[in-house]
Amino acid sequence: MASSAKVAYCRTYQRVMKVATDILPWKEPAITKGAGCIKKLPYIIKQKGINKVMIVTDKGLMGLNLLDSLFEGLKSKGIEYVVFDGVQPNPTIPNIEETRQLYVDNGCEAIIAFGGGSPMDCAKAAGARVVKPNQPVQKMKGVLKVRKKLMPFFAVPTTAGTGSETTIAAVVSDPETHEKYAINDLCLRPGYAILDPELTVGLPPHITSTTGMDALTHAVEAYIGRSNTKETAERAVQAVKLIFENLYNAYEDGKNIEARENMLLASHYAGIAFTRAYVGYVHAIGHNLGGMYGVPHGLAMSVILPYVLDYYGEAAYDRLADLADAVGIAGADNAEKAKNFIAAVRELNAKMNIPSSIDKIKEEDIPLIAERALAEGNPLYPVPKIMDKADCEALIKSLMPKE
């Protein structure tokens, strides 16, 4: 565990940040939800007097023809559009610059981010670069470094995981340093979120499972952290309940619209929770495994979550016991409830064929991964227990396949 001086510094920083965030002008996106609601988006855009938009997505979604009804609706309303479909799984700085250039070259007035976390992150960072043309992405890393209103921003999630349609974060990868880090600023929060479960019906089971566990990680890390508000705690609990009740159903039967709709709502609630209450070491380590090896974010979250919860131990037992109560997991006392909750997370992973280790980790990289993870996590993330480098290295090593 970290030294008492380090812990005191982190906790003081976190208390100051909590006070500061309580006075910030938080505004959630306007939500349109329900099966087929993507068809309402062109009407909403037209009402705003917008005549030309840029759509940010990826080639996989284009190939599935998921955007066809959106294209038709935009044409019928006389709204011009250009499409950037080159988003990479972990959007890089060159990727973001390409997106920005297309927006500027075509005189666009708004952005539609269509897809999972990667198109959302790419679109947010590109939007920030449009309004701050003299500030490179690297200088936006951290908290409140953009501070300039973005263009109208419409977010259409096609996975129930990241909650990016309601978060203030954009996660980017630097291909030169192999770092993956977040830009956090209120101005990155989309103004409009379109939650259409029909867009998630075609998700393969392994994407359904890992993105759903990403949403669970957001909710759990937000709830057990020390920067909750009444609202973030309520949203986190709602999200955990919805995920335990619906994720396996969505995984087993991808056409179950009710389960899909509930998972989109769970992801959204978890996004509301963590965008204000923060995440923790699951994300700090996972981001850096993604940056170093290209491990998909949802997979990293799924695998790492129970290990980090084990590490927190009794520092998180009472809060995890609350979550156990919420989903009907019993235990003789809070410690047993918490341990049973962690066991249930592992069981859910196993039922959905999610591995319990990450085989890409190289032992010689662990010190650098730990250093970068702690640079992200300390002092910002208000975790139950502050981790030091030795703890972090040991945890990362435990993620490697057992001999």
Q: What is the chain's mean pLDDT, rounded? A: 95
- Kindly state the average pLDDT of the residues 381-388: 97
Domains of the chain: 4-22+203-398 (1.20.1090.10), 34-200 (3.40.50.1970)
| Model confidence, pTM | 0.94
Proportion of the chain above pLDDT 70, given as a percent: 100
Question: Which of 84, 83, 111, 271 shows the shortest CA–CA distance to 191?
Answer: 111
Chain position carrying tokens 């927190």:
312
Report the half-sphere exposure of 229 (CA within 13 A, side-chain side).
17
Chain position carrying tokens 């090896």:
293
- In this structure, the number of other CB atoms found within 10 A of the CB of residue 204 comes to 9
Q: At 182, give phi and psi (nearest 5°).
A: -105, 145
Beta pairing class for 179-184 and 169-174: antiparallel
pLDDT of residue 231: 95
Residues 284-338: pLDDT tens digits?
999 999 989 999 999 999 999 999 999 999 999 999 999 999 999 999 999 999 9
